[in-house]
Amino acid sequence: MSEESTYYVPEQSKYPIAAATGFGLMAYGAATWVIDSSNPYILILGTLVMTVVMCMWWNTVITENIQGLANAQLKHSYVLGMLWFIFSEVMFFAAFFGALFYLRVIVNSWLGGEAAIGIFDDTPTDAAVANNALLWPGYETQWPVMETPDQAANGDAAIFKGPDQAMSFPGWANILSWLPLWNTAVLLTSSFTVHIAHTGLKNNNRKQFVTWLGITVLLGLIFLVLQAEEYIEAYQHMGLTLNSGIYGTTFFLLTGFHGAHVTLGTIMLMVAFFRSLKGHFTHDDQFGFESAAWYWHFVDVVWVGLFLCVYVLD
Amino acid sequence: MAHGPATLADGWKAYISRWVFTTNHKDIGTLYLWFSFAMFILGGAFAMIIRAELFQPGMQLIKPEFFNQMTTMHGLVMVFGAIMPAFVGLANWMIPLMIGAPDMALPRMNNLSFWILPFAFAILTSTLFMEGGGPNFGWTFYAPLSTTYAPESVNFFIFAIHIMGASSIMGSINIIATVMNMRAPGMTYMKMPLFVWTWVITAFLLVAVMPVLAGAVTMMLMDINFGTSFFNAAGGGDPVLFQHVFWFFGHPEVYIIILPAFGVVSQIIPTFSRKPLFGYSSMVYATAAIAFLSFVVWAHHMFTVGMPIAGELYFMYATMLIAVPTGVKVFNWITTMYKGSLTFETPMLFSIAFVILFTFGGFTGLMLSIAAADMQYHDTYFVVAHFHYVMVAGAVFSGTAAIYYWLPKWCGKMYNETMGQVQFWVAFIGFNIAFMPQHFLGLAGMPRRYADYGLQFADWNMVSSIGAFIYGGAQIMLLFNVVMTIRKGKPVVEDKVWEGAEGLEWTVATPAPYHTFEKPPEVK
């Protein structure tokens, strides 16, 4: 609730229209580019405009904060904005997790002519049996899907061919060479380090804050490098690509969007890091850092879900 | 903040930059409202083309391919371009005034949410001129029609959806932050006007489901361009997955459209009944219940797709449950009017028509929720009639009521009551002539989305088209009324434009000053 009348409402701003223009160019450019890959120029232009505007916009917000224009109430608006933005991100991932569960549990059973879940149908429905027998003869329910329904029915003429090797748990003997485990370790650790940094800031321990924030950024970068390594491995040695049926589809989309969010989170933490070097943030004025930290915890939680549902559970 | 807004007298440059660079919630609300009206006319033009072609059997005016693009674009433009921005515009104007806030919580982001929309719709509309034509797969864009068999322009459609989704999310976050953080001292949650309540619940729905829509179009994009197999059984995917993801967004979406309409009507009916709203808290809880239920009923749009019988039963009963909180609302509106001293100004007429016609649309919804019966109704004109009763007589009537109700406060001029009432009756009669016969057509088996039909459907289609043209004409009258009010309307001096009106928005001067509540009012 408001108690004072000094809520800062900027009189006018050129940033929104510039950002909207950049965003529009990005959308138009992205569509142009997926249709004609030789024309990425509008997309690049839009991205540039957007990047420049975002930098200037946030720079202005930071300056306003330093000038003391942002009162407690306005800061609370920022907090609410960030929290609900993270909630919307949760729902974005929910769509992909939901798709994964539906595909794994229900669709996969029906394609193989089996019953899906006990409470719905104990015995396979006629439709599921016919679906398997008439459309995808020979397909057996399996996860990871190493042989797609297309392959089962059409052999070598299939368009969608399963991967040679999946990313699942390779057995205890090979556990140390299993990249996802290292990635989990790195990301979980980074969630702790960002918390240590936060504690440092709360206790006015600047050195602890800056050091551990720097370490968190570093861990974020290591995670991204490892994930790039994992993708290279998948494409070059495991035959696991976007085209390798539903396993490759869900694997790359879920981990890919997570990776994109880690990238975004790392950039946010990096900005917070450079600001901390300039002496920004105090124990009672730390929204810029705190929001990055919340975002970081969010990508971490998503990773735990991914690790379980995409990698571990067979 | 001393000087007022630039007017035309300050020169074109100042005037245009006022609107383009504005951070003022009233300016942005006005932009949203005019934009949505422009889209309403565009979507309406598409509808007129559809009805002109369906005026009689056979192909007269356009090719079937173009007809498909018209049905698709009509739906998309009306849902995302006309109705949603119209209510966001009302939210922008009224929420800060109703809760005693100086502006929206995040004023610059507010302007960004608006200015994304013209770009999104420019991209969407431009697809009509592209090779292969625009989107032609229906506004629900089911895969594989929208993936494997789609025109190339589907990629522009996908990214247009992406950015208008981002716009909606930013707009909703702004509304949530405003309501949670900007209320005047003493304005507790349970004192908020119902319009604010319905909007904040709508905003929660938007933040929850727009990202799911983004997920759906992203999966489409990947399937079309990057060889994934989300919606392709050959790779282990399933086209039905698209329907599940889409309707997980789509069902809350229809409540996103109708809840603010409930809010508007809940403001207007007490004013012209000169009684407080009956059962305020039950209205709040009913709205929340409807919002919650909207997340768990999505597959009632897919009864014929081949779900297990247990699924059909669950979604059928869960859907019927929605009738309970909705019934509470209708009961409360009627009880508010009971023994009130009623007058029937234009906003009240539209609101009463809303209650009657929306309830009618709700009943046909109940018919459709019966899974066994839906086997007959599914994808027929009965469905078209049903959702036009709730979308047009629901959302659009309520939006029109809101325009007449608040226009005097916005511009300080009173509309011409006779003209308003004439417009109401033309709209009311035209609407019912257009859509009532579609129930009969649907029950007789006429499928939706076809450019041609059997001879047995000819008579009612002609009636329906005539009604549609009358209803289209009513919108031109609305535009005329609004423009005439702004230019030549009789000035209003009272702060409280309507004698029965209650709430903070009626305590500020008329017309509402550019900046209001810079010092928060005290609410007792």
C-beta of residue B134 within 8 angstroms of C-beta of residue B127: yes
> For tokens 């049996």, what's the residue?
A129
- pLDDT of B482 > 80? The answer is yes
The residues facing B380 across adjacent strands are B447
**Cβ–Cβ below 8 Å for A3 and B185:** yes
- What is the average pLDDT across A285-310? 95
Query: Is A51 found in the same domain as A137?
Result: no
Q: Structural domain tally of chain A?
A: 3
**Closest of A247, A104, A16 to residue B113, by C-alpha:** A16
Of A10, A223, A258, A220, residue with least CA distance to B23 = A10
pLDDT confidence of residue A171: 85
Burial class (CB in 10 A: 0-12, 13-18, 19+), B109: buried
Tokens of B112: 């960004």
Residues written for chain B: 524
Q: Are A46 and A25 in contact (CB under 8 A)?
A: yes
Q: Report CA torsion sign: B414, B416, B417, B419.
A: negative
> Helix crossing, B239-273 with B194-225: angle to 10°?
160
Q: What are phi and psi of B413, to 5 degrees?
A: -130, 145
- Cβ atoms of B139 and B450 closer than 8 Å: no
Which pLDDT tens digit goes with each residue over B322-354?
Answer: 999 999 999 999 999 999 999 999 999 999 999
Q: Which residues of chain B lie closer than 8 angstroms to A120, CB-CB?
A: 308, 310-311
Mean pLDDT across B31-57: 97
Size of interface A-B (CB pairs under 8 A): 242
The backbone region for B133, taken as left when phi is positive above 0, alpha when psi lies in -120 to 50, beta otherwise, is left
Q: What pLDDT sits at residue B343?
A: 96
Residue B177, CB-side half-sphere exposure with 13 Å CA sphere? 26
Residue A128: per-residue pLDDT = 85
pLDDT at residue B171 greater than cutoff 50: yes
**Torsion (CA) A52, A55, A60, A61 in degrees, nearest 10:** 140
For the record, the structure tokens of A78 come out as 């920022």
Report the gap between the CA of A33 and the closest CA in chain B (Å): 10
**Which domain-ending residue is among A118, A134, A157?**
A157
In this prediction, residue B2 carries a pLDDT of: 42
Residue with tokens 């990425």: A40
Q: Indicate whether A6 belongs to any domain.
A: no
Mean pLDDT of B131-153: 94
Residue B441 has pLDDT above 80, yes or no: yes
Residue B209 tokens read as 């489901």
Structure tokens at B94: 């009224």
Judge whether residue B103 has pLDDT over 70.
yes
Question: What domains can you pick out in chain B, each with its CATH number?
Answer: 24-506 (1.20.210.10)
Specify the DSSP class assigned to residue A138: T
Residues A286 and A218 in one domain: yes
Q: Is B248 helix (H, G, I), strand (E, B) or coil?
A: helix
**B517: nearest CA in chain A?**
A5
pLDDT score recorded for residue B316: 97
Q: Give the domain CATH number at A85.
A: 1.20.120.80
The answer on A289 and A178 residing in a single domain is yes
User: Which two three-digit tokens encode residue A68?
Assistant: 């003391």
The answer to whether the CB of B341 falls within 8 A of the CB of B282 is no
Partners of residue A282 on adjacent β-strands: A285
Asked if A188 and A47 sit in the same domain, the reply is no
Q: Which of B51, B80, B59 is nearest to B471 (CA)?
A: B51
With contact defined as beta carbons under 8 Å apart, do B298 and B231 qualify? no
- Residue contact A19–B112, C-beta within 8 A: yes
pLDDT tops 50 at residue B113:
yes
* Alpha-carbon torsion, ordered B36, B42, B45, B50, to 10 deg: -100
**Rounded distance between C-alpha atoms, residue A54 and residue A22, angstroms:** 10
> Partners of A12 in the beta sheet?
B22
Q: What is the pLDDT of residue A172?
A: 87
Decide if B92 contacts B74 (C-beta within 8 A).
no
- Tokens encoding A261: 């969010």
Both A89 and A180 in a single domain?
Answer: yes
Q: Is residue A271 in some structural domain?
A: yes
Q: Does residue B5 carry a pLDDT above 90?
A: no
Buried residues in B500-510 as b, exposed as e (16+ CB within 10 A):
bbebbbbebeb
**Final residue belonging to a domain, choices A45, A69, A93:** A69
Do residues A115 and A195 share a domain? Answer: no
Q: Is A9 on the interface with B (CB under 8 A)?
A: yes
Above 60 in pLDDT, residue B279?
Answer: yes
Cβ-contact B342, B333 below 8 angstroms: no
The answer to whether the CB atoms of B229 and A245 lie below 8 A apart is yes
Contact B100, B58 (CB under 8 A): no
Cis peptide before A144 (omega within 30 of 0): yes
Per the listing, tokens 């960002």 go with A194
Is residue A5, in this structure, part of any structural domain at all?
no
Q: pLDDT averaged over chain B?
A: 95
- pTM of the predicted protein model: 0.95
DSSP B513: P
Return the number of other C-beta atoms located less than 10 Å from residue A58's C-beta: 13
Estimate the crossing angle of helix A287-306 against helix A206-237, to 10 degrees. 30
Residue A3 lies in a domain: no
Task: State whether A252 and A140 are in the same domain.
Answer: no
- At residue A157 the predicted structure's pLDDT band, cuts being 50, 70 and 90, is very high
* pLDDT confidence of residue B398: 97
With 0-12 / 13-18 / 19 or more C-beta atoms within 10 angstroms meaning exposed / middle / buried, residue B445 is middle
Contact call for B219 and A253, based on CB within 8 A: yes
pLDDT at B1: 40
Segment B212-230 shows an average pLDDT of: 97
Supply φ then ψ for residue A140, to 5 degrees: -115, 135
Degrees to nearest 5, angle at CA B34 with B28 and B36: 100
Mutate which of B155, B181, B206 to disrupt the A interface (most A C-beta within 10 Å)? B181
The reported pLDDT for the residue numbered B3 is 57
Q: Considering CB atoms only, which of B108, B237, B518 is closest to A249?
A: B237
The closest CB to that of A10, out of B107, B152, B225, belongs to: B107
Angle among Cα B209, A54, A77 to the nearest 5 degrees reads 55
Distance from CA of B139 to the nearest CA of A (A): 19
The interface residues of chain A toward chain B in range 53-92, judged by CB-CB distance below 8 A, are 57, 73, 76-78, 80-81, 84-85, 87-89, 91-92
Which pLDDT tens digit goes with each residue over B384-438? 999 999 999 999 999 999 999 999 999 999 999 999 999 999 999 999 999 999 9
Chain A residues 167-226 with a CB less than 8 Å from chain B: none
Instruction: Please say whether the beta carbons of B508 and B101 come within 8 A.
Output: no
Work out the percent of chain B whose per-residue pLDDT is above 90.
95
Classify residue A139: in a domain, yes or no: yes
Same domain, A38 and A78: no
In this structure, the answer to whether residues A201 and A303 fall within a common structural domain is: yes
- CA-wise closest residue to B435 among B376, B384, B469, B475: B384
Q: Is A288 inside a domain boundary?
A: yes
Q: Is B341 exposed, middle or buried (0-12, 13-18, 19+ CB in 10 A)?
A: exposed
Output helix, strand, coil percentages for chain B, rounded to the nearest 5: 70, 0, 25
Asked if B169 and A245 come within 8 Å (Cβ–Cβ), the reply is no
A257: closest CA among A85, A33, A51, A97?
A: A97
ipTM, 2 decimals?
Answer: 0.94
Residue B490, φ and ψ in degrees, nearest 5 = -70, 125
CA B338, B264, B51: angle at the middle one, nearest 5? 105
Which pLDDT band holds residue A22 (cuts at 50, 70, 90)?
A: very high
Let me know if B181 is exposed, middle or buried by CB neighbors in 10 A (0-12, 13-18, 19+).
buried
Tell me the HSE value of A206 on the side-chain side, using a 13 A CA sphere. 8
Phi and psi (nearest 5°) for A285? -145, 90
Name which of B381, B356, B378 is nearest B369 in CA terms.
B378
Strands (E), B175-292: none
CB of B418 closer than 8 Å to CB of B404 = no
Q: Rounded to an integer, what distance in angstroms lies between the CA atom of residue A199 and that of residue B141?
A: 49
As a residue count, chain A comes to 314
- Distance, CA of B213 to CA of B302 (rounded, Å): 17
Q: Is A20 among the domain residues? A: yes
Condensed to tens digits (0 to 9), the pLDDT of residues A120-150 reads 567 888 888 998 999 999 999 998 999 999 9
Pair (A257, A275) in one structural domain: yes
Pair (A79, A63) in one structural domain: no
| Nearest CA distance, B173 vs chain A (angstrom) | 6
CA distance A313 to chain B (A): 18
Check residue A120 and give its pLDDT. Answer: 59
Q: Which CATH number does the domain housing residue A44 bear?
A: 1.10.287.70
- Within the 193-222 window of chain B, which residues sit less than 8 Å (CB to CB) from chain A? 207-212, 214-216, 218-219, 221-222
User: What is the number of H-type helices and E-type strands within chain B?
Assistant: 17, 2
Residues of B with catalytic function: 74, 103, 139, 167-168, 251, 253, 255, 266, 300-301, 326, 329, 448
Q: In the 3-class helix/strand/coil scheme, how is B372-407 assigned residue by residue?
A: HHHHHHCCEHHHHHHHHHHHHHHHHHHHHHHHHHHH
The Cβ-side half-sphere exposure at B437, using a 13 Å CA radius, reads 17
| Any domain includes A221 | yes
| Segments forming the whole domain that contains residue A47 | 11-69
Q: Do residues A215 and A303 both lie within one domain?
A: yes
Q: Residue A169 carries which DSSP code?
A: -
In 3D space, the residue among B20, B22, B26, B188 whose CA is nearest the CA of residue B95 turns out to be: B26
Please indicate whether residue B256 or residue A119 has the higher confidence score (pLDDT). Answer: B256
Task: Give A146's contacts (C-beta < 8 A, 6+ positions apart).
Answer: A162, A163, A166, A247
DSSP output for A64-110: HHHTT---HHHHHHHHHHHHHHHHHHHHHHHHHHHHHHIIIIIIHHH
